[in-house]
Chains A and B, each alone.
Chain A
Amino acid sequence: MAKGSHEIRDAIHVFIRYSSHERRVIDSLPFQRLRSIHQLALSFLVYPGATHKRFEHSLGVMELAGRAFDVVTAQDNVTDVIRKSFPEIGDLQARPYWRTVLRMAALCHDIGHLPFSHAAEKELLPTGWTHERLTKEFILSSEMQEIWKSMTPPLRADDVARLAVGPDKAKELEFTQWHELLSELIVGDAFGVDRIDYLLRDSLHTGVGYGRFDHHRLIDTLRILPQAPLAGPDPSTETPALGVERGGIHSAEALLWARYFMYSQVYFHHVRCIYNIHLRDFLADWLPGGQLPVALEALAEITDDEALAAIRVAAKSPSAKGHEPARRIVKREHFKLLYERQPADVAKNPDAGEAISTAARAEFGADNVRRERYKPKGAPLDFPVGGADGRSASSISISETLQKIPVVNIDYVFIEPTLREKAEVWLAKNRDDILEASAKE
């Protein structure tokens, strides 16, 4: 008799178990492609261990999504008010359906990722396209629809797509509060299991201990709670949201600090950022038309493997497309950091990085200057915390630690290495004038 349940070993979760239907998704070509998409793009040039892929991350997210769902919908963990808001929790048919949808959505949430994950997404896709849109396309494709339809009960492809990308990236789909809540379990800024898995996994593979936190405790204390009140009677604040019970507040603090450390120390390490820029420059030269394809069959043909092989070839041949950025990557002759955002500069001129970058391009030539600006994703620090008295409280009213987590705000300007000394002298001399001139209307 064929096995209905399967398992795979994992560096973070030890064993990940999955059904035969989930195995069909895992074995599909679009999903297998994730074995060749690095989770952290070229970060392995800075952190040699960071060679892990989207494949194992996606399995991890599926595992955690199932665990989180079981906790937040356990009958002992929901109040009558929540049960009334979400009848699916108590419905013997609906609950297993949504558990299956959630795990499938978690499994597929990165299936549309481009080569090198986020490194080249914004610049190299046609307007209006993102990896989330491609993820939706894959989930709605005939190959995947066959799998959804073969299940009992059949899964609605739209449901899988909704939960996989969330309301922000699926504007054309309508979301009920239930959809919003389940998608928050996967892609939510505060406690999404996507974030939980990538922090733990990236921490392990980069060797940077900052990303660790007690995710077992955190998941065990996740709850669907009414939002905390604002001062005065305001009934709509009781709209349910994902939060933690009081005992989980320290694990939540640890997660949000881990996020801060990983973003500031790893994800936006300045050398990682400049390698990403050289990679984008290479891909723009190398790809036909300077853009990544959005047709699913064509996209499936391009992974990090093809691009890395092409980078090695182009680095050797001055006449090859993308030779210059390829050479910089292979020979480690990347641009050097000239300017990094300073709070004092921003107080004078909120667009300080743009001002310095524009002036440097005018002085040294556009080809010799690059800029990386990271707009904070803003993990919401305010989430409901369930108290012993049955009331929800704002996390900010409980935790002084949360109030002190800084916002990661990155703005780098890089310069061609042979111009570095000259540019540093130029910047020291002109910095105040540049900031002032640009700040004036």
Chain B
Amino acid sequence: MTYTERVVILSELAERLRAKGSWCGETHLQKSVYLLQHVEKVPLGFEFVLYRHGPFSFDLREELSAMRGDGFLRVEPQSYPYGPRLMADPSSAAVRSAHAGALRRYEKNIEAVADIVGAKGVADLEKLATALFVSESAPGASAEIRAVRINEMKPHVSYDDALAAVSAVDDILLRCSSQE
């Protein structure tokens, strides 16, 4: 996938996340891209590791910086003491319109992820994305085993919350596979 195609997809994702009520900070965008790659199988090519708030891609952080540098993404400061939001710069619309084919190809996937993420906060996204990360690394493992694993890796996520997140991930994957 070219940089231009990634600009199209990531800027569209940022727009749709905000339209669905997401805060759309860096963490929200990171988890959304993780879902886009790993649930919707959009081949963006970012590598994710388990980090502070769950799956995180340092490559994606670079890409978002590049987009900021190229004027396709904007950091929107908030009043004291709040963290910033990200928004697609209006100039990205021209790229999306010139590459309408790329947008059409992945539009449904982007919308599906924006629906999942919606107005979820960082805490919920961390649980959901970590549950997906653990599920992928332990295929076939029971929900209980995966919940224990999440709780080991992220002690601030209780076993019950982890189990709920695993169940939500299983539902999403089931829904996704039934649509294929």
Contact = CB atoms under 8 A, between A and B. Distances in A.
Contact of A171 (B49, B61, B95, B99): B49
Contacts of B83: 227-230, 237, 382, 394, 396-397
B51 A180 contact: yes
A236 B79 CA distance: 20
Given A175-B50, A375-B62, A409-B69, A394 B82 contact: yes
B59 to A, nearest CB: 9
A230 B82 contact: yes
Interface string B133-170: 00000000000000000000100100000000000000
Interface string A390-407: 011110111000010011
B175 interface: no
A349 B69 contact: no
A235 B122 CA distance: 8
Given A239-B53, A346-B70, A381 B61 contact: no
B122 A441 contact: no
Contacts of A241: 52
B65 A376 contact: yes
A234 B121 contact: yes
**Size bracket, chain B contacts:** 35 or more
A96 interface: no
B121 A232 contact: yes
A394 B82 CA distance: 6
B53 A409 contact: no
Contact of A343 (B58, B63, B70, B100): B70
Top 8 nearest A-B pairs (CB, nearest first) are A378-B65, A407-B69, A393-B81, A236-B123, A409-B69, A376-B65, A394-B83, A168-B58
Given A230-B121, A236-B156, A376-B66, 15 more contacts: A167-B51, A180-B51, A231-B78, A231-B82, A237-B123, A346-B70, A349-B4, A350-B7, A350-B95, A396-B83, A396-B84, A403-B77, A409-B66, A441-B98, A441-B99
5 contacts: A168-B49, A239-B52, A347-B70, A347-B91, A397-B78
